[in-house]
Structure formats: C-alpha cells, structure tokens
Amino acid sequence: MTRTLLLITSAAAALTAASATAQTTQSQPPTAAAADNFADQRDDIIVTAQKREQTLIDVPQSVSVVSGAALERNSAQTFQDYLKLVPGLQASQSNPGEARLVLRGINTGGVAATVATYIDETPFGSSTSLVNGAILSGELDTFDVARVEVLRGPQGTLYGASSLGGVLKYVTALPDTTKTEARARGGIEAVDGGDLSYMGSAMINLPLGDKLAVRASGFYRDMAGFIDSIGTNGSDVAKDINGYKSYGGRVSALFKPSDRFSVRLTALLQNLDSQAGSIVETDPVNFNTLYGRNTQSQYVPTFTDIAYRLYTGTLTGDLGFATVTSTTSYGTLHETLRDDFTVYYGTLLGLYSDATGPAADIGLAQRTNTNRFTQEVRLASDGDGAIEWLIGGYYSNEDGKLLQRLDAFDPGTFTLFAGVPQLADIFLNSHYEEIAGFANATVHAGPRFDLTFGGRYSHNKQNAEQGGTGLLAVAAPKVGSDENVFTWSAAPKFKISEKAMIYGRVAKGFRPGGPNVLPPGAPAGTPSTFDSDSIISYEVGAKAETEDRTFGIDVSAFHIDWKDIQLLAQVNGYGVNTNGGSATSDGVEFTATLRPTQGFTASVNGAYTVAKLTEDTDPVAVGGRDGDALPFVPRFSGAVNADYDWRVGAEATAYVGGSVRLVGDQPGNYSPGYLASYGRQPRIGSYNVVDLRTGVDFGKFSIEVYAKNLTNSAGRISATVTPAFPAAGEYPFGAIGAAIIRPRTIGLTLGAGF
C-alpha cells in the first residue's frame, strides 16, 4: 500500500512507498441466509447499475450482485470476506478501512483510486491523489445492506472520476412503511494464534403511519489480533498487536406521501480503530514467513483510526413523462494514525543498523481529513418507448488536509531523542472542485436489438499548498491545475430470448490529474502538475439462464488500453506524481450458477487476467519495465460456493454450505531497488482458502456456526518493497512486510427477530 508522505527532500526520498501496507432492496428476515436459499428463487435480480432499476440480465455490461442474505450467510465483515463471491475483484490491504480495490488489473500503485466507491446514490472518498484516496476506499460494514453491486470496466459516463476499473456500490436497505420489523445478531470468534473476538448488531424498522418510516441499525465488533512482536533486534515484545474494533450505524427516514413523490434522509456513521496492521515479516526472495510464526518487529506502537460520516438526502418525483432524482450529500473521512519508521528512516539518517539496532525510534503521526459536498440531479424517461433516456448534472466540492509529524524518540519511549533536531512537522492543504454534465440513452431498434450509449463532460480544478518546519520539511507555495475531460460509452445488445442475450461494450474512463507541491528552486524538469490518465475498454459478453432459473451463466471477455498512467516516482530527488507509459489488460470473467433442486444452490466463478506494462517506466524512479505485470493482479482467481437448505420439522430450516477460493501467483509492487537486486518484480505465491458454514433457523431465532480459512492458509494479499531496498527497508535484517489473510477462525452467531 502507499500512504502519501510529504517529506519533500532528496535525502529522505519523500512521498515514498510506505507500509500501510472494497436481491430485493428490502431487508431480509433474521435468518435470511437460510430462508432466502430455501425459498423459490425465480424472482429477477434487480440492480441500479445504470442509475435506473433493471433486471440484471438486461444490463449490457459485466455486473456482479451479492445480496444481503449472502453477505450474512458468509459472515462477511470485510472486503476479504466477499471477494470469493465476485470474480476478478482484488483487495490489497493490511488495515481495516485501508484497502486498494482492483478490478480487471487496473493498478500500478500510487495514491489515487482506480475503483470508485458509492453508497446508494453518493460517491464516497476522495477524487484526488493528495489525500490517499487509493487506499481509503470506504470499507462499509455490511449489516442491513440490501446488496453490493460490482460494476466491472470503466464507468466514467454515469459515475465519473476514478472509476477506471469499475465501481463498488453499497445499496442499503430502504425503510418500509408497511410493517414493523426488528432483528439482532450476536457472535463470538476464535482466531488461530489470537484471542476471542466479539460482535453484535441490531436493526429496527418503524412505520409512522402509512407515509413515513424510519429504519435504524447499529453494530459493534471487537476483533482479536494474531500477530506478535517478539523483540527482534531490539523491538518491543507484545502479543496480538493487530486487533481492531469497528462500530457505528445508520439511520434512514423515508417520507412517501404518494406513489409519485418520496424523500429519503440518511445518516451513516462508522469508526474503524485498529492497532498494527496484519503484516508479517517475510523473506524477500521466497516470501516465506520468518521466525516460524506471525511476527512484526514493532519499535513504535502503531495504530490507525478511521471515521466515516455521510449525510444524504434523496428526492424522487414522478413527472409523468420522466422521473427526477436529486441527491445531496455531505461526507467526511478522517484518519488518524501512527506508523513505525524506525528501520526505514533510521537507516537513511544513520540512526539504525542491523549490527547495532536502533539508536532512536522513529514514528510518523498523521492526520488525513477529507470533507466532500456533492450534488447530482438527473431526469430519466418513464415508460418503455422506443428510446429510454437519462440526462443529469453533477457537482463536487472537496477539501483535503494532510498533517504529518516525524519524530525521533529515545528507544522504547515517547521521549524526544536529543541527538537530532525536529525531523518534520508539516501540512498539505488541497481543494478539488468538479462540475459535470452527462447523458445516456437506450434505443430499442426492434424487439431483440438495443443500443445504449452515453457521454459525460467534466471540468475540474485543483489547488494545493504545503508548509511546515523541521529537518526534512520544505515549504511550497500554492499551485493549481485544471482540466476538461470527455468520457463516453456504447453498448449494443441482442436478445436471443427473454432469458438470454449477448452484448458488446466500448467505454472510456478517467482519473483526474492534479498539482505537485514543489518548493521554490526545484530543478528544471521536475513536473509541477500531472495529467489525468485514461483507459478505453472493449468488452463482449453473454448472459443466459433457463426459464426456471435452475441454471445461469454470465461470461465476458475484455481488452483494455491504459494510457498516460499515473505513477508515484522520484524525480530530481522529489516525490511526485507523474504520467508515464502505457499498459494493457486482457481477460475473461465468468459466473455459473446451478439450482438443480429446491434448497440447493452452487456457483462457480473465475477470472483470468493478463495485465502488463507496454512501455518502460523510469528504472530509477519507478522500476517497472515493458512486459512487467501490473501489481497485485493474479493471472487466475476463482471460487466454488455451494449451499443446501432443508426443512427440519414444520417450523425450522437448516442449512450447510462451503466455499473454496483459489488465488494464483501475484506480482508485487514496482521497486527500483528490488529490480536492481534480483532483476525482476517481487512475486507473491498462490494460496487457497476453504470456508464452511452451517445453521438452523427456528423462525424467530437462529444459530449459525462457521469456519473461515479452515486449512489455516497464510495467503499474502499485498507486500511492500521500498524503492531503496535493500539499502533501506521496513524491517530488520532485510525482511519485507507482507499483509496476510486472517488465520483459521471458528465462529458462532445467534440471531433473533420478528
């Protein structure tokens, strides 16, 4: 992962890569997983991928849907818990709330996102590269979420900036004006090598008459750590240093005075408070875990606290000929953290060596604040005429603040080390403003052929300034940038029958450029701005299912051209964002679902992706060469999921199920130092994950037992190799840090509701 560092000096190599190292819209009953699977599954799956309700089989692009029932059945709490349900989705992360989402191989590292996150109608997170938007994706707790939609491929026409690879969209449950409903879940988990975890969640839906309803939910999770610091080369001795807590909730009110008009107001609050990340010290050559156990050398105790706040108002009105939708939102994403840079900066400053250990501990304290206002208004045609159309406008105003303080401490304390002056106490303030207009239309050229096309024109302007004090701090005056971008898409669709169709899609996506904050006197050739990068994607696909839905298939193949790639680089000793080179990504994704008898459902999904650079990057600044694979994109990944439900007496339903996920070898990040040492990229080994689950629904009560990662796989989901490797690394004796999946976890959940 990459966190933005502002230490803009040639000596410290600032802005470097640091370890930081994603069905129906109503809620389900308390034991939804069992009830949903046992019920007749002939209902169409409804999605809002094209910003209007459609059946999934009618959408001419690749979309995956994970229902709220499936999320609960899989005890999904993080991105890692539902990757097995979405072909091609990868999440590279080491801390809760810090995840780099990757779809279709579109990733080169850096600090701006390539997958956009939406919560209902609202974009969440940052549009810029200046406040760590790439890894702050918005890891929303999925309790009482109606479904998660994953749109693959560029979505620039309807979803705008930073949707190069696709969109991950949380669709939350609507308040229901027709019934009172309440449910609760509580559970306990035991993780291998750690202590017990505890969790609870509850929801209530209250109609206040037949025109108004309020829905509220809350959750609390206390998750045990499983990584120890064992005193390697003078580091701390501590157990289970990577535990975390997640807590929060949502309140939503729906006012619907008639069938033609509604207003929904929603407030979302969530906190993610974690200690050290789930990183273990790893051999840089074979990527095996060192010291015979999960360890992380900790000199300065670390933590990461993330707070989401999102307030949204959505108004919908039926005008007869069209429906108008207005969505207004204000959201904040605040992160406070402390990182341990004892080995890395200690080596650069002569305060650490493997022979003597640390003369001083070095810690980075950081605050990242993003405050964002958005407004979207769109008008969508009603009815099933020859042309369905949608037009809209969008506005976004975003303020970002990044505050950092780098200190040297007496070993084992937080007493400032007297041997060096203040290292850095600095800030970066940024502002992003965007206005856009978009349109989309579907022409029904006959009973079987449709053509969907659209375009979006957007203008953004940005500015940023940096200041501060300290040995490694350099002030930089305010700089700015602005650009105009046009994105488009076209998708023909041919319906073979009501349950089968083939389609094609060509689309363009973009990611905003921006300013580089440089001090006066920076050498000529150091870029003061960087441009947007863009991709053009070519896709063909087919969707089909039998009339009784006992079998369904969704398959797509794609080719992507990526130009002017944004890269994090060292130019004349300054850490900057630059544009460099090009890349391609080619692949196939599929999902096949089988329901041969009532109560039994099985699915197989997979993705084969070949994503690589097609031009050299700077071998000293970046370290990627023509033909090198794009980071953290396995060539193959796939999963098998199966569940069987059956009646137990007149009132109860039981179920049993399991999943197997396979992830192939993955390339690591680009590192000039690693390339010089080994002549290649880092390479992370393949891994498999086996999950099992079973439970009984007694009507108002339920009990569930599950095992995640039953075989205790030590699968790596990311690894950080510093640009200066091996001269300056993250851990003692040349070890690198690799984020791992959670070890074998056994859990029990009790549910109740009415």
Residue-wise pLDDT tens digits, 430-448: 999 999 999 999 999 988 9
Work out the pLDDT band at 233, boundaries 50, 70, 90: very high
Q: What is the 3-state secondary structure (H, E, C) of 118-180?
A: EECCEEECCCCCCCCCCCCCCCCCCCCEEEEEEEECCCHHHHCCCCCCEEEEEEECCCCCCCC
Q: What does the alpha-carbon distance between residue 285 and residue 2 come to, in Å, rounded to a whole number?
A: 21
Which of 42-51, 65-74, 240-249 has the largest mean confidence?
240-249
Mean pLDDT to the nearest integer, 676-687:
92
Work out the pLDDT band at 136, boundaries 50, 70, 90: confident
Q: Please determine, for residue 568, whether its predicted confidence score (pLDDT) is greater than 50.
A: yes
Concatenating the DSSP letter of every residue in 390-445 gives EEEEEEEEEEEEEEEEEEEE-TTSSSBPTTS---EEEEEEEEEEEEEEEEEEEEE-
**What's the pTM?**
0.92
Token code pair at residue 678: 């080994």
Cβ atoms of 405 and 365 within 8 Å: the answer is yes
Instruction: Classify residue 171 by burial, with Cβ atoms within 10 Å: 0-12, 13-18, 19+.
Output: buried
pLDDT of 528 reads 78
> 32-753: which CATH topology?
Maltoporin; Chain A (2.40.170)
Mean pLDDT to the nearest integer, 616-620:
82
Work out the pLDDT band at 29, boundaries 50, 70, 90: very low
Say which residue, 33 or 118, is predicted with more confidence.
Answer: 118
Q: Please determine, for residue 255, whether its predicted confidence score (pLDDT) is greater than 50.
A: yes
At 159-168, the pLDDT tens digits run: 988 899 999 9
Work out the pLDDT band at 43, boundaries 50, 70, 90: low
Q: Please determine, for residue 589, whether its predicted confidence score (pLDDT) is greater than 90.
A: yes
Q: Please determine, for residue 173, whether its predicted confidence score (pLDDT) is greater than 70.
A: yes
pLDDT of 298 reads 97
Q: What does the alpha-carbon distance between residue 575 and residue 571 come to, in Å, rounded to a whole number?
A: 7
Percent of the chain with pLDDT over 70: 93
Percent of the chain with pLDDT over 90: 70
Q: Please determine, for residue 40, whether its predicted confidence score (pLDDT) is greater than 60.
A: no
Pairing, β 574-579 against β 387-409 = unpaired
Which of 108-117, 244-253, 515-524 has the largest mean confidence?
244-253
Q: What is the number of H-type helices and E-type strands within the chain?
A: 6, 44
**What distance lies between CA 19 and its chain's CA centroid?**
17
pLDDT of 12 reads 34
pLDDT of 522 reads 72
Cβ atoms of 664 and 637 within 8 Å: the answer is yes
pLDDT of 3 reads 55
pLDDT of 216 reads 98
Say which residue, 421 or 7, is predicted with more confidence.
Answer: 421
Nearest to 348, CA basis, from 681, 673, 668, 678: 673
At 191-215, the pLDDT tens digits run: 999 999 999 999 999 999 999 999 9
CB atoms within 10 A of CB 624: 31
At 459-469, the pLDDT tens digits run: 999 998 888 88
Pairing, β 357-358 against β 303-318 = unpaired
Would the CA dihedral through 353, 355, 358, 364 be positive or negative? positive
Mean pLDDT to the nearest integer, 615-628:
85
Token code pair at residue 253: 């009110």
Say which residue, 754 or 12, is predicted with more confidence.
Answer: 754
